[in-house]
């Protein structure tokens, strides 16, 4: 089978898949498609990633060795050194396709081949340790993938004029905060919670007022949190090892003992917040009050705020009139629960962003003026289709559709334009262009997301008012479909 799918005599979906299947059957998981590398997850260990293999691709001319991520990484690095122009990797695919592992392989190769501009081994080690740190707090088990990235990351590796790596910077996108408070069937919360319970000593758990059983907490429970208690028990030993690795990563990255303790205190606070429950008070209205004061006290202690202030924030909103007078509006029980979950998600999101900020500070070049070029790596979260998809999953899938559009244009449309401009005989290839569907989401001012953003600013907005506006603004779009007789208060995008 051809190493380069773009050279197939008959280039279509059937021949592409047949060639990939044939190569996969011989454990040949990498194939070229022009300047794109296709990787098929082998779901088993293969002798393709050792030091000897890595050395074999060092300064290798394309075609001398079989397709590999190492070849692509080496080509990008040599182009950076030779031309001074920054390079970029886009790693995309379905959940479970192997994107996170591919990112690690690319980074590992680049760091091994380029040398370093700082203390021997120190910068290299810190950059490598970034991945397990971010995976602990940003990855989770899903039905399709035991280590699914629930955020997108953009890594900038910074080089000097000699081609030595001198620093790095990470940007994170769209952390799936909704997973913190609710997960689907067979899904789990973020890895770090399970690591924490498996690795913390009984004494430290007591200091954080945590029970030994993680599944006694609403946000981790088998009933509401998915994942299952049995899976958790089987994974306990592995999670303990991951806890030790996480602590080692934090120490290597320069986090002090007190900072590491604060990380676990905030994680415990999130779990205690999820235990806060509400009931209707005795004031004669629908106003909510905290039903279990112990969970409130534990949360307040760990986030270091007064208990009364935390209760007031969870059960009411205060607005200020023009004359300076303040009016307190009590929440009902349902709204108080939403506020509790929103607070937990905000704490976790702030913690995640703080860790990324600290990592960037520690990986910053000692001499920014020495910076001459970058190699960028975009590791995007995978496309997934659950029985019930959150808004965050919609954003994730929309991002993947944009990348699919980029690849489609690169492989088919732009290549055919080059053939035509150079007068090369060619046969037109039909392909699905998803640009129209993407425009329905993002076009301004009448795209779906713009309409949603506008409607969300109105105090009395509802699902029905949003649907009415979408019917008015988007009905003429060819990809927008109004609900039928059986589901009149619905719409579809196809």
What positions carry a catalytic annotation? 95-96, 100, 145, 148-149, 382, 384
Q: Which DSSP symbol is given to 284?
A: S
Residue 137: closest CA among 195, 186, 97, 86: 195
What are the backbone angles phi and psi of residue 3, rounded to the nearest 5°? -70, -30
One-character DSSP codes across 366-403: S-GGG--EEEEEEEPPPB---SS--HHHHHHHHHHHHH
Residue 70: closest CA among 52, 46, 53, 88: 53
Between CA 445 and CA 334 the distance in angstroms is 33
What are the backbone angles phi and psi of residue 98, rounded to the nearest 5°? 105, 25
Q: Are strands 152-159 and 373-379 parallel, antiparallel or unpaired?
A: antiparallel
What are the C-alpha distances in Å from 305 to residues 219, 275, 309, 353, 416?
Answer: 22, 17, 7, 21, 62
Contact 195, 242 (CB under 8 A): yes
Residue 333 neighbours by CB under 8 Å, 6+ apart: 278, 279, 280, 286, 288
Q: Which DSSP symbol is given to 323?
A: T
Contact 57, 109 (CB under 8 A): yes
What are the C-alpha distances in Å from 304 to residues 176, 262, 377, 467?
Answer: 26, 11, 38, 42
Residue 157: closest CA among 96, 116, 201, 119: 116
Kindly report whether the peptide bond that precedes residue 102 is cis, defined as omega within 30 degrees of 0. no
């Amino acid at each position: 089978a051809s190493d380069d799918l773009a050279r197939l005599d008959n280039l279509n979906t059937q021949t592409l898949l047949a060639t990939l299947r044939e190569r996969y059957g011989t454990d040949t998981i990498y194939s070229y498609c022009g300047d794109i590398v296709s990787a098929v997850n082998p779901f088993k260990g293969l002798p393709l990633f050792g030091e000897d293999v890595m050395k074999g691709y060092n300064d290798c001319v394309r075609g001398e060795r079989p397709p590999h991520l190492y070849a692509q990484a080496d080509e990008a690095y040599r182009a950076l050194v030779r031309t001074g122009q920054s390079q970029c990797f886009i790693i995309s695919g379905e959940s479970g396709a192997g994107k996170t592992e591919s990112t690690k392989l690319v980074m590992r190769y680049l760091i091994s081949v380029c040398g370093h501009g700082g203390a021997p081994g120190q910068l290299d080690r810190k950059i490598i340790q970034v991945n397990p740190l971010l995976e602990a707090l940003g990855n989770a088990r899903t039905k399709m993938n035991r280590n699914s990235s629930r955020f997108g990351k953009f890594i900038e590796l910074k080089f000097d004029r000699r081609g030595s790596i001198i620093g790095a910077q990470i940007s994170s996108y769209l952390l799936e905060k909704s997973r913190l408070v609710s997960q689907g069937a067979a899904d789990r919360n973020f890895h770090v919670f399970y690591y924490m319970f498996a690795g913390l000593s009984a004494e430290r758990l007591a200091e954080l007022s945590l029970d030994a059983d993680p599944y006694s907490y609403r946000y981790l429970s088998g009933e509401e949190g998915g994942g299952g208690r049995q899976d958790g028990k089987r994974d306990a030993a592995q999670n303990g090892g991951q806890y030790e690795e996480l602590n080692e990563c934090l120490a290597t990255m320069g986090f002090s003992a007190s900072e590491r303790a604060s990380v676990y205190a905030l994680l415990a606070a999130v779990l205690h917040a999820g235990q806060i429950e509400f009931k209707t008070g005795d004031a004669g209205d629908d106003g909510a009050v905290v039903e279990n004061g112990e969970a409130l006290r534990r949360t307040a202690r760990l986030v270091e705020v007064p208990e009364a202030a935390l209760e007031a924030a969870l059960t009411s909103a205060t607005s200020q009139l023009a004359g300076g007078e303040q009016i307190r509006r009590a929440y009902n029980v349902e709204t108080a629960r939403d506020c509790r979950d929103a607070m937990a998600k905000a704490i976790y999101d702030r913690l995640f962003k703080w860790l990324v900020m600290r990592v960037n500070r520690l990986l910053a070049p000692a001499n920014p003026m020495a910076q001459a070029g970058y190699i960028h790596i975009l590791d995007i979260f995978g496309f997934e289709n659950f029985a019930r998809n959150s808004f965050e999953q919609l954003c994730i899938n929309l991002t993947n559709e944009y990348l699919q559009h980029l690849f489609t244009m690169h492989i088919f449309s732009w290549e055919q334009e080059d053939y035509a401009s150079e007068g090369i005989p060619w046969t037109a290839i039909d392909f699905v262009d998803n640009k129209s569907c993407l425009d329905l989401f993002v076009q301004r001012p009448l795209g779906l997301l713009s309409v949603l953003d506008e409607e969300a600013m109105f105090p009395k907005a509802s699902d029905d008012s949003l649907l009415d506006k979408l019917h008015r603004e988007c009905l003429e779009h060819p990809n927008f479909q109004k609900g039928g007789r059986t589901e009149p208060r619905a719409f579809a995008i196809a």
